[in-house]
Structure formats: structure tokens, C-alpha cells
Chain A
Amino acid sequence: MTDQKIITLISDFNIAPLSGFLTNKLKHPEFILKTSPYGQVYQSLACSSESWLDIVWTSPERVLPGFQKACQLEEVAHEDILADVDDFAQRLISASEKRYIFVAAWQLTENIGYGMLDWKNGLGLSNLLAKCNIKLAEKVSESNNIFMLSTNSWTEGLKNPLSKKMWYAAKIPYISGVFENAAKHIGQYIDAIKGKSRRLIVLDLDNTLWGGVVGEYGWQGLRLGGHDHVGEGFRDFQLALKSLSNRGIQLAISSKNDEMVVMQAIDNHPEMILKREDFVGWRINWNDKAVNIAELADEINLGLESIVFIDDNPAERDRVSDALPEVLVPDWPEDPSMFVETLKSLCCFEGTTITREDRARTSLYISERNRRDIKHSVKNNDDWLRRLDTRVTARPVDSNNISRVTQLFNKTNQLNLSTRRLSEQEIIAWLDNEARSMMAISVTDQFGDMGLVGVIGLEALGRKGRLVDFILSCRVMGRQVEETLLHLAVSELASRGSSIMEIVYEATERNGPTLKVLKNARLEKVNNSVFRVNCKIGYKKPEFVKLNVLGE
């Protein structure tokens, strides 16, 4: 089975509990878990070349020679230990050329320490550990394939995370709860690499985003912020949601209420953190919430598997999880002081990068709403396209844009010719061939910058060229960007000596719109899934779109 992915656990302690928890968490034949020989960290990093992901969890006193002496409170130059960190990081970077690496931030195990001097610069162990972790984080940031994981979240909330007895008996330094937490987080990080994170939170309002029922008490009667322990819980929950929104997670509302009353509350309540512009959409009516959520998903062009639904009402939660099993519907506490912790514990909003597009995602959707409004107000489609003043910029895929390109490869469903799900390293490997090229497509119009929204991948094999990847975010669908990309692809292949561009459509459950684009374009249809263009004749660029091609 060629698609199987090997995950190698590398540690200088007995990591069997993590292996067990992670095996049960992943539960998918796609993954094979291996554990490298105990204590052979450096050798394993150099050897596990077949691995798709290495999880490296070490203790500073065992992996850094000088740290052990520091733990015994011997006089050691911190600079020497930091040089060891540098060496360790360099080995991780070398290994990351071929695979992903998760490296756990170091933690101190039991030691006598320096007491009140433990943070003293150049002396204390806490001071030294912090420096080592920062040095490691800075160095491994050079690689896009290495992710340094915060181990604090694995031990947080556990009474006694260290177990000396387990260490003496089995060389396991932690209680099983630590490994269970680690497996939960690592499972989510693996999902993130595979592009399976949740991207939209659909929220109820009454007793979820604020305390009380707005339809009964009016916005003045809501419990939100102020000198009120309940109100502060709701306010903090809104702050947490706002933070996620800043990270690119979108917010929407599904509430059984009167829309006008709700908007008055959102616009006028002085303690509202979330404003209208923080929501990409809403359905405030008396309809079935499952229907509302399905409509929102459709409007925002997201799959149901990208959605989390939060509602204080168990009956509504039951209805939605029953009707839309792909939507994550967490059990929700009644006590608002638990809301932020519950949201955090979902661990489903991970991302391997935070791109400019992620941070601006909500405003991009709001611009999109404005575009749709203009479309309704003009006489015909040509007028609308002219008024949009769309500008397309194509630039080669390089280290500056590959994170976002990888995201598009793994997230785009509808306008995606072959739906190849490629990791960053797989894209780089594919491009390591002179016959191949890939361009990143950015789009702007009079309403704003939509950012990097498309990718085309080309292969010029002598006379016959091939459009391998044609990926475009649905946000720019239907405004002739599709045809502009066909023009660009044909021109590029012609300049590389191809006389024909072949396009092979590979159907999936969700890329029907791609076939529609191909059928409507001026292409020679070879059969139901193969299309051609004569590169010598070329493909006309749409009149209302400006194209700017930037070189290498």
C-alpha cells in the first residue's frame, strides 16, 4: 500500500505509552507507528528516512551533554550548552528535508535546583531551560517541516505529572495522563498537516454568546461583561472566539431569534467583543438549525466536516449532530466560566501555518458579500465584471508562497482538476523536474485583495503539455479568473515548446464545478474527461480581467 505513512517515535525515555495512545487515537490503516530504539535519538534522526513524520520527545539532561552537569549544579557555561542545542537543532533540520518533525519543547524533570536563584541569568536551571527552548525554537523555525510542540499543555491540569516510580521501574518519566494528552494534541496536529482542521464555528446566541434571552429582556437585560461573574464568563468566551478569528477561524451565527432584535444587541451592547464584521454569515430565524447550518456551509463554500456548532441547548445539539454527522457538535457546559476551557479542549483548529489570507479571511468574505450585492444591482454580467476591475497576478511557487499553495492543494474541493493532496515537501519534490512548473495565482478587485487563491501546475513533455493542477478558491469563481488561468496555462506551455495542452479531469465527489468550467470553456473535448487546446492558436484572455505574470 503506497499511501501508508510511517510515524516514528524517537525518544530518550520509554515512549511506549504514547505509542499505545496514539495508535488508538489515529486508528487508521493509513498510519504505521514505529518506535525507534530506546535512547538512540541522534542515530534515529539520521536513519529513519522512510518516515513521514518523526515525533521527537527528549529530556534536556539526556540529549544535551552539558545539561546533565548543570542539573547536578556543577558550574557549566550556558553558552556551551546552547552550542549543543544548536547541534541538536541542526540534526532536526537535516532530517526535516525528507519528512515532518514534531519536536517536544523540553521540560525539567526533578532536580534540586537553585531555589530563589533558579531564574538568575547564567546560573539557574529554569533560566537555562528557557534559553535552550528559545534557541531550539529559533533554529528549527528555519524549516517549514518542523513544529515545536508545547509540552506544558500536556501536563497542564494534572496533579502529579511526573512519576519517579514509573521512571525507576520502566524508564517512563510521566504518568499516563500526560501521554494521553500528548496523543490527543499530536492527533490534531497530524490532522492539521493533512488539512483536516475545522475552519468555521457556528454559534448560538442566547446563553451561548451572552447570558439571557435577548428576545425577552432586550439587549439592555443581557448578562455580558460588567461587574458580574456570569457576564465576565461570556465576555471572555467572546474574546477567545475573537482570538480564533484573528487566526483565520471564521465565525457564523445560527440562532432562533428575531434578526432585528439580535442586530440591535450586537451593534449596541457596550460589552460586545464580537461585532457584525466578525461574522462571515448568519441565519437568525425560526427554522431548523441543521438546515441553517447546511445553508451557511454552502454560502461560505466550506464542507460540513470543517464546521463546529456550539449551542447551550442539548436538544439543538442533538438535532444538528443527528442531521449533520460531519459537523462537530461538542457537549457544552452550562457554566460560562467553563466555556473558554471547553473551546480550548476541542483541539480542532490547528493549522500548520497562519497565512496572510487566514488572518484576513473574515474581511475577505465580507468583501465577497459586497460583490454579490453589486451583482444584484447591475443590469448584466458584463457590467458587473467590468465594475469589478479584476486583476490576476501569477508568480512562480517559491518559499514565500508555498505554505499557502499547500493549503490550497489540501483544502480546495470544487475547483480542483485532479484533487492531488500534496504536502509541502511533496510539492517541492514534484517540482524537482525541469519539465514541470507551478504558478501561484493572486486576485484583487475594486473591493479588495483576495490574496493567493489559485494554483496551476504544468508539465511540458515535448510536444504535448499537460495542465496537471488547476486549483481555484470558490471565492473567485464565476468572474472569468478560470478562463484567465486557462489562457495563462496555454501561454506558458507554448513558451516551453508544447503545441498541445491536455487537461485530464479526475472526478471526485465534490469537483463537479471543475467539469462545468471545462465544458463551458472553449476547449476541444476529446471525451467526457479529457480536453485539449492547440497552443499555437492559444486561448483568448477574458476582456475584463487584467493579467500580470511575474518571472522567477
Chain B
Amino acid sequence: MRSKEEITDIIYKCAEELNRQLPEEGKIILEESAAIVGENSPLDSLGLVMLLISIEEHIASLGISINILDIFTKSDEPPFVTIGDMSLWLVDQSG
């Protein structure tokens, strides 16, 4: 099982990469409490898809193989809303 810190760092790295192509007002705040899903998220659907795929590809380098986008789109309720939620969810999934 990977640590939450390790996974949070990867999420921040992917968010930073994505932020470079987002407008100032649409950037993701790099805090665990920052929403990446739902009405408080600055991301549109394309932005969210790009973030999820990027995280999926990056965590694969840690040996974690999770089809995040697929699980997310099939869920009735989003499995995570904030960066912190997502880290915990990924830690759980990686176990």
C-alpha cells in the first residue's frame, strides 16, 4: 500500500501540469480541501477527464493500476470530491 503523502504529491504534480493550460480563475488550488469534482470545482468536464487520466498514468509508475476514469464515470455518486478525498480513495484502491 502506498502512503497518502506519496499519492497526494502525484495529484499535486498532475494538477500543476494542468494548471499551466488553465486560465487564472480556473486553476486548481493545491490544497487537500480543494474541490476537483462538483459545483465548487474550477474544472469543466474536459479538465476533469484530463486530470484523471494524467493521475492514472502517473500512479501507474508507482505500480498502481487503476482505471480511475472508468470507475468515476460508472459511479452513481463520485467516489471523491476534493484532492484529499481522492488521495484517501487511491490509497484504499492501491491496497
Chain A: residues with CB nearer than 8 A to chain B? 14, 16-17, 20-21, 23-24, 163, 165-166, 169-170, 172, 175-177, 179-180
Contacts and interface: CB of A to CB of B under 8 A. Distances in A.
B50 A170 contact: yes
A166 B57 CA distance: 10
A172 B21 contact: no
Contacts, number: 43
Given A165-B69, A170-B46, A180 B21 contact: yes
Given A21-B21, A165-B69, A166-B53, 9 more contacts: A24-B22, A165-B56, A166-B50, A172-B50, A176-B20, A176-B21, A176-B50, A176-B54, A177-B17
B49 interface: yes
Given A23-B23, A176-B54, A169 B18 contact: no
A14 B50 CA distance: 12
Contacts of A17: 21, 50
Interface residues of B, number: 14
B interface, over-half SS = helix
Contact of A20 (B21, B54, B56): B21
A177 B57 CA distance: 13
Contact of A163 (B21, B22, B23, B53): B53
Contacts of A16: 46
Given A16-B46, A176-B17, A176-B18, A169 B23 contact: no
Contacts of B56: 165
Interface in B18-74: 18, 20-23, 46, 49-50, 53-54, 56-57, 69
A163 B57 contact: yes
B91 to A, nearest CB: 22
Contacts of A163: 53, 57
B88 to A, nearest CB: 24
B45 to A, nearest CB: 9
Contact of A24 (B20, B57, B69): B20
A20 B49 contact: no
Contact of B21 (A14, A166, A179): A179
Given A16-B46, A170-B46, A165 B20 contact: no
Contacts of B21: 17, 20-21, 24, 176, 179-180
Nearest to A17: B21
Nearest to B73: A169
A45 to B, nearest CB: 25
Nearest to A170: B49
21 contacts: A17-B21, A17-B50, A20-B22, A20-B23, A21-B20, A23-B23, A24-B21, A24-B22, A163-B53, A165-B56, A166-B50, A166-B53, A169-B49, A169-B69, A170-B49, A170-B50, A170-B53, A172-B50, A175-B54, A177-B17, A180-B21
Nearest to B21: A20
Contacts of B49: 169-170
A259 to B, nearest CB: 46
Contact of A169 (B17, B22, B53): B53
Contacts of A165: 53, 56-57, 69
Contact of A180 (B20, B50, B53, B54): B20
Contacts of B54: 175-176
A165 B54 CA distance: 10
Interface centre among B17, B50, B54 (most CB of A within 10 A): B50
A-B pairs, top 5 by smallest CB distance, nearest first, are: A20-B21, A21-B21, A165-B53, A170-B49, A169-B49
Nearest to B22: A20
Contacts of B46: 14, 16, 170
A168 B73 CA distance: 14
A177 B69 CA distance: 20
A166 B17 CA distance: 15
B58 to A, nearest CB: 11
A157 to B, nearest CB: 16
Interface centre among B17, B22, B23, B53 (most CB of A within 10 A): B53
Contacts of A21: 20-21
Nearest to A179: B21
A165 to B, nearest CB: 5
A172 B56 CA distance: 16
B68 to A, nearest CB: 10
B93 to A, nearest CB: 17
A529 B57 CA distance: 64
Nearest to A172: B50
A7 to B, nearest CB: 16
